[in-house]
Structure 1
Amino acid sequence: MAERQAGPALETRPRPEETVSLMHIGDIQDTRILNPEGEELGDLTDIAIDRETGRIIYAVLSYGGILGFGEKHFAIPWGAVRTPPGERVFVVDVDKRRLESAPGFARDAMPREGDWSLVRTLPP
């Protein structure tokens, strides 16, 4: 009876032969972000989620500063964030010098969308 009532919800579960790649917030928060050259850009400290769709819109990159003072925050579009298999880092194609000269945003004034102008190569 319960299965009949659940109907489509049960159909969305992965089949035993399918794999699902999930991350927990604890896997994401405070993870190092590197660029493809291996330069450390900072840490992923937060994510912005669209309330209507449930999709991650961007990752918050905290760059620079010491002990939280003088940090700049950048909205990196989630589509530009790569996760190398088996590693606990994220890779984003951003030039470190670009972050030094870009203004970033204040933590109490998060932008509505990610900033694609920071990303050197756009996803396909």
Structure 2
Amino acid sequence: MAIEVMTRPHQLIASDRVEGTVVRRPNGDKIGHIERLMIDKVSGKVSYAVLSFGGFLGIGTNLLPLPWGRLCYSTKSEAYELDIEDEELKRAPSFGADKDFDWGDRAQEAELHRYYGMPPYWGGF
């Protein structure tokens, strides 16, 4: 039995298609790209997108965990949009590409959500 490929546009996207997608400002300027998604294992909801920005050829690259709700997908530019100024981006909680964010530290996650003024995906604030 052959598997039919759906060619109609739809709202779903595979995670491997999101990784590497460009992130732009609403004016079209490129900020970086999505390095990975962080998904809540229990609820199945995407909790964060990790934005890769800065650096050259992977050297000096910073990774910025963003609450998923902070991004909007633009069908026009086929990129995720993030309305963020350079200064806000520079001050945002981030980590070097050679380090890792402690996803098990709820206080660190809460600080991240406070910074963006967004309620945490797990509830409360």
Partner of 1:43: 33
Runs of 4+ in 1 over 4 A off after TM superposition: none
Shift of 1:40: 1.4
Larger radius of gyration: 1
Partner of 1:81: 71
Instruction: Compare relative contact order (CA 8 Å, sep 6+) and give the higher one, 1 or 2.
Output: 1
Secondary structure of the structure 2 residue equivalent to 1:38: coil
- Are the equivalent residues in 1 in contact too, given 2:61–2:96 (CA < 8 A)? no
CA distance in 2, matches of 1:34, 1:20: 22
CA distance in 2, matches of 1:23, 1:48: 15
CA distance in 2, matches of 1:26, 1:82: 18
Instruction: Kindly tell me the number of residue pairs found equivalent between the two proteins.
Output: 104
Does residue 28 in structure 1 map to residue 12 in structure 2? no
Does residue 110 in structure 1 map to residue 101 in structure 2? yes
Q: 1:87 to 1:59 in 2, by over 3 A?
A: same
CA distance in 2, matches of 1:103, 1:80: 14
Shift of 1:109: 2.4
| Alignment deviations for residues 25-83 of structure 1 (CA, whole Å, 9 cap, x no partner) | 23211111012232211111101011111110010001100111101111111011100
Give structure 1 stretches of 5+ with no counterpart: 1-18
CA distance in 1, matches of 2:66, 2:93: 13
- Are the equivalent residues in 2 in contact too, given 1:75–1:111 (CA < 8 A)? no
- Are the equivalent residues in 1 in contact too, given 2:65–2:93 (CA < 8 A)? no
The two structures have a TM-score, normalised by structure 1, of: 0.69
Which AA in structure 2 matches 1:38? G
Aligned-CA RMSD value: 2.6
